[in-house]
Amino acid sequence: QKEVEQNSGPLSVPEGAIASLNCTYSDRGSQSFFWYRQYSGKSPELIMSIYSNGDKEDGRFTAQLNKASQYVSLLIRDSQPSDSATYLCAVNSWFDYKLSFGAGTTVTVRA
């Protein structure tokens, strides 16, 4: 059973600041790592995927992966009120179809 742990928050940041989200996972066989954004009452929306150690940037989002430390993070730069949501970390392994999700970190961006 893969365990995926996230700080539940809430994380409150002022508009324009950087929001930093953390995720740890228990299964060393995990190969693929995803960040989903979930607005209240809505479905998870994929915002980032990362498979190799290091950083991956996409617009205002940067994902960081450290497999040795079993740690993946998400940075949101220039946070906007529209970024207010719950961010879900999800992992799977190369031959494992299912995604294992963390409980999510709720982010509130203050205008």
As measured in angstroms, the least distance from the Cβ of 92 to other proteins is 8
Q: Is residue 34 a contact point for other proteins (CB under 8 A)?
A: yes
* φ and ψ of 83, to 5 deg: -80, -5
Q: Which residue among 28, 43, 54, 68 contacts other proteins (CB under 8 A)?
A: 43
Q: Is residue 100 a contact point for other proteins (CB under 8 A)?
A: yes
Q: What angle do CA 65, 70, 75 make, to 5 degrees?
A: 35
Q: Is residue 88 a contact point for other proteins (CB under 8 A)?
A: yes
Q: Which of residues 48-77 bind other proteins (CB under 8 A)?
A: 49, 51
| DSSP-derived secondary structure letter, 60 | T
* φ and ψ of 95, to 5 deg: -110, 15
Q: Is residue 40 a contact point for other proteins (CB under 8 A)?
A: no
Q: Write the CB contacts of 99 (distance below 8 Å, at least 6 apart in sequence).
A: 34, 90, 91, 92
The binding site for other proteins (CB under 8 A) comprises: 31-32, 34, 36, 42-46, 49, 51, 88, 90, 92, 94-104
